[in-house]
């Protein structure tokens, strides 16, 4: 058919075009193959091409086509159509490769059968091939439809499964949420239960705490009441002790006065037949007894009732002793008077008998004066009373006339200033020459300081001015300062541009330090013992600590330390005990090497003296009582 030939020509033209030569399969996408895979891969021949080369081309060479002039257009088209039959081996079973699988005996027979009608039956082959292709197309469409239906079925199943899974997930989430909610409810119930238990326990603890607090408050109130009772008892005990102590001092003063009366009876020794030494010995024993009681009570703060009774008995015995002595003296005087009268009467009778008047002169018996040392305590008290009266505004006899600070508005300030200056000057001169004089001067200064604090402040001012080491303070040399002014600041005396000798300087500094060390440890024995010392031992401890914190001076530091410790060391030892010995060990182990390092060989005397003194004290574990210290017997004199 001409139309069929034109279709083949069209197909041939399309096939020979560039796009027609492209390999394309419609089921690539269904199979998941890449569209450009064939384009990018190397060209290769299929197995069908080999079969064509082996079977079709040899037959075409053996049967050449007839000349173009003898052929009709129909035959030409048939030949042309037959020449393209082998292109579809699947549609033509005669040329399919399956024929090659036949045995060798029948191979050539089949080939000979098909070679002849190959060109003659081209139209049928085309139809067959078209049917095959149509069948393939239908098959493919059915397959695609089935695949689509299968895919839709699978999608439905997947959706169903997805919905089922979603529902199951929802159910799982609901069960999980329900489980969590149940666990949360259980946990909340447990927490509420534990909270209730905790609240119950807390309430129980609060109740127990309130009970214990109530008991504790009761105990505290009882303890406070007990403390108040003890404080009241202690206050009453102190008041009673103060009363007893004042009574003891009054008893001691009266006993001392009676003892002086016993001593004054020594002028009647010639009149008495009895020995006065027995009365004096017993009087001294009674004075010593009361002094011992007071000394013991000063260590135990307050005297006891037994001490009061013993002191009163001693006073009563002293009174009886003095009364007996006065009776003996009165009796002796009466006997002496009677004897004198009898002798006078006898003499008158004798003169009348002899008629020769005779004049007799009687000379009084010499009296023995008392030494100064026996009266030092009383003289010191007189001096103190005189100074105290002057500072209190009372008139005082001096130089044959009455003197009072009230006569001038500035009289009291002048007297206080001069008195403080005099105390320091006595330390500078008298104590420097006689070390024992520090104690009587210091006890008067301490008593005046206690009653008149301004005098004490002025004493410190004069002392610090003349002896800066009593602060302690080492003045530093300032730029532009004259050498004489600096030496005066150090405490040296400069007269007519001449500085005093080092020995005299150390002697004066030693006297003032000894006076200061005596003042801080002594109290006026007739003052109020309950009052605190205005400048007591704590200042001495501070002075010692500060001077050890300063760099030592050659010859000066060793001298001052020796004088201070010799005078005040015993009192500091009793007051601070173990801490004082630690300080002494510090001086020996740490401060001695520092002093020795700056001391020249010609100035080692003061250092060696201090070193030997401390080594001796450490060896005996005691600081000796300083020489000249005022004992209780001093005040009985």
Please compute the mean of the pLDDT values over residues 536-548 and round it to a whole number: 93
The predicted pLDDT at position 314 comes to: 81
Please compute the mean of the pLDDT values over residues 446-457 and round it to a whole number: 92
Is the predicted pLDDT of residue 274 greater than 70, yes or no? no
pLDDT digits (tens, 9 = 90+) for 192-201: 888 889 899 8
pLDDT digits (tens, 9 = 90+) for 344-381: 777 765 554 443 333 222 222 222 222 223 347 888 88
**Which of the four pLDDT bands, split at 50, 70 and 90, describes residue 62?**
low
Please compute the mean of the pLDDT values over residues 290-296 and round it to a whole number: 76
Cα–Cα distance for residue pair 608/585, rounded to 1 Å: 16
**H or E segment to which residue 95 belongs:** none
Of 86-95, 312-321, 529-538, 593-602, minimum mean pLDDT range = 86-95
| Nearest partner of 491 among 511, 469, 472, 515, judged by Cα | 469
Is the predicted pLDDT of residue 74 greater than 80, yes or no? no
The predicted pLDDT at position 57 comes to: 60
Of 74-78, 254-258, 506-510, 526-530, minimum mean pLDDT range = 74-78
Please compute the mean of the pLDDT values over residues 485-508 and round it to a whole number: 88
Percent of the chain topping pLDDT 70: 75
Cα–Cα distance for residue pair 416/429, rounded to 1 Å: 20
- Higher model confidence: residue 130 or residue 470? 470
**Which of the four pLDDT bands, split at 50, 70 and 90, describes residue 469?**
very high
The predicted pLDDT at position 479 comes to: 81
The predicted pLDDT at position 511 comes to: 94
The predicted pLDDT at position 109 comes to: 40
**Cα torsion angle, 70, 72, 75, 79, sign:** positive
**H or E segment to which residue 413 belongs:** helix 411-426
The predicted pLDDT at position 36 comes to: 61
Of 210-219, 324-333, 519-528, 567-576, minimum mean pLDDT range = 324-333
The predicted pLDDT at position 111 comes to: 41
Please compute the mean of the pLDDT values over residues 215-229 and round it to a whole number: 91
The predicted pLDDT at position 402 comes to: 83
Cα–Cα distance for residue pair 86/91, rounded to 1 Å: 9
Of 154-158, 179-183, 304-308, minimum mean pLDDT range = 304-308
The predicted pLDDT at position 366 comes to: 26
pLDDT digits (tens, 9 = 90+) for 608-622: 999 999 999 999 999
Q: What would the DSSP string read from start to end of 442-454? A: HHHHHHHHHH-HH
The predicted pLDDT at position 44 comes to: 57
The predicted pLDDT at position 4 comes to: 53
Is the predicted pLDDT of residue 429 greater than 60, yes or no? yes
Return the axis-axis angle of helices 438-451 and 502-519, rounded to nearest 10°. 50
Beta bridge partners of 501: none
Is the predicted pLDDT of residue 66 greater than 60, yes or no? no
Phi, psi of 495 (to 5 degrees): -130, 125
Is the predicted pLDDT of residue 596 greater than 50, yes or no? yes
Is the predicted pLDDT of residue 96 greater than 50, yes or no? no
- Higher model confidence: residue 280 or residue 190? 190
Say which residues have a Cβ less than 8 Å from residue 485's Cβ, sequence separation at least 6. Answer: none
- Report whether the peptide linkage leading into residue 472 is cis, meaning its omega lies within 30 degrees of zero: yes
**What's the pTM?**
0.44
Rg (the chain; Cα; Å): 72
The predicted pLDDT at position 249 comes to: 78
Is the predicted pLDDT of residue 414 greater than 70, yes or no? yes
Cα–Cα distance for residue pair 572/200, rounded to 1 Å: 64
Cα–Cα distance for residue pair 572/567, rounded to 1 Å: 10
Is the predicted pLDDT of residue 119 greater than 80, yes or no? no
């Amino acid at each position: 058919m001409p139309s069929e030939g034109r279709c083949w020509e069209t197909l041939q033209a399309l096939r020979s075009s560039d796009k027609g030569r492209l390999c394309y399969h419609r089921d690539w996408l269904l199979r998941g193959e890449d569209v450009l895979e064939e384009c990018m891969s190397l060209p290769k021949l299929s197995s069908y091409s080999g079969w064509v080369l082996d079977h079709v081309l040899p037959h075409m060479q053996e049967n050449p086509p007839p000349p173009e002039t003898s052929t009709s257009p129909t035959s030409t088209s048939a030949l042309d159509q037959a020449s393209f039959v082998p292109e579809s081996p699947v549609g033509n079973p005669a040329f399919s490769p399956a024929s090659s699988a036949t045995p060798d005996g029948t191979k050539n027979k089949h080939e000979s059968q098909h070679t002849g009608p190959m060109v003659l039956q081209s139209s049928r082959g085309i139809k067959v091939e078209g049917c095959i292709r149509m069948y393939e197309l239908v098959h493919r469409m059915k397959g695609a439809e089935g695949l689509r239906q299968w895919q839709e079925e699978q999608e439905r199943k997947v959706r169903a499964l997805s919905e089922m899974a979603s529902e199951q997930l929802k159910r799982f989430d609901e069960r999980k949420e329900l489980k969590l909610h149940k666990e949360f409810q259980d946990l909340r119930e447990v927490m509420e239960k534990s909270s209730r238990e905790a609240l119950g326990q807390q309430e129980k603890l609060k109740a127990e705490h309130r009970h214990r607090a109530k008991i504790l408050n009761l105990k505290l109130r009882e303890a406070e009441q007990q403390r108040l009772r003890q404080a009241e008892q202690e206050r009453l005990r102190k008041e009673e002790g103060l009363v007893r102590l004042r009574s003891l001092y009054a008893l001691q003063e009266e006993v001392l006065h009676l003892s002086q009366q016993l001593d004054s009876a020594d002028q009647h020794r010639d009149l008495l037949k009895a020995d006065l030494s027995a009365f004096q010995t017993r009087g001294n024993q009674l004075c010593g007894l009361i002094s011992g009681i007071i000394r013991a009570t000063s260590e135990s703060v307050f005297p006891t009732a037994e001490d009061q009774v013993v002191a009163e008995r001693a006073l009563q015995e002293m009174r009886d002793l003095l009364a007996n002595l006065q009776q003996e003296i009165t009796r002796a005087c009466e006997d002496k008077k009677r004897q004198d009268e009898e002798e006078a009467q006898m003499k008158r009778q004798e003169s009348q008998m002899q008629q020769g008047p005779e004049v007799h002169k009687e000379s009084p018996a010499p009296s023995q004066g008392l030494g100064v040392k026996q009266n030092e305590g009383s003289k010191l008290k007189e001096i103190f009373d005189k100074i105290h009266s002057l500072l209190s505004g009372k008139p005082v006899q001096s130089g044959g006339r009455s003197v009072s600070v009230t006569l001038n508005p500035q009289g009291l300030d002048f007297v206080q200033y001069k008195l403080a200056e005099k105390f320091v000057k006595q330390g500078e001169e008298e104590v420097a020459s006689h070390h024992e004089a520090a104690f009587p001067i210091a006890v008067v200064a301490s008593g005046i300081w206690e009653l008149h604090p301004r005098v004490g402040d002025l004493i410190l001012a004069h002392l610090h001015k003349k002896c800066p080491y009593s602060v302690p303070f080492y003045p530093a040399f300032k730029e532009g300062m004259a050498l004489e002014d600096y030496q005066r600041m150090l405490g040296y005396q400069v007269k007519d541009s001449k500085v005093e000798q080092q020995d005299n300087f150390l002697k004066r500094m030693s006297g003032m330090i000894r006076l200061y060390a005596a003042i801080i440890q002594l109290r006026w024995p007739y003052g109020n013992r309950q009052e605190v010392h205005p400048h007591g031992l704590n200042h001495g401890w501070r002075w010692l600590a500060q001077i050890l914190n300063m760099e030592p001076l050659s010859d000066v530091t060793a001298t001052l330390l020796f004088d201070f410790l010799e005078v005040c060391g015993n009192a500091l030892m009793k007051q601070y005990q173990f801490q004082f010995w630690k300080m002494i060990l510090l001086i020996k182990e740490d401060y001695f090497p520092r002093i020795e390092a700056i001391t020249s060989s010609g100035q080692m005397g003061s250092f060696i003296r201090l070193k030997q003194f401390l080594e001796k004290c450490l060896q005996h574990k005691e600081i000796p009582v300083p020489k000249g210290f005022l004992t209780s017997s001093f005040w009985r004199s």
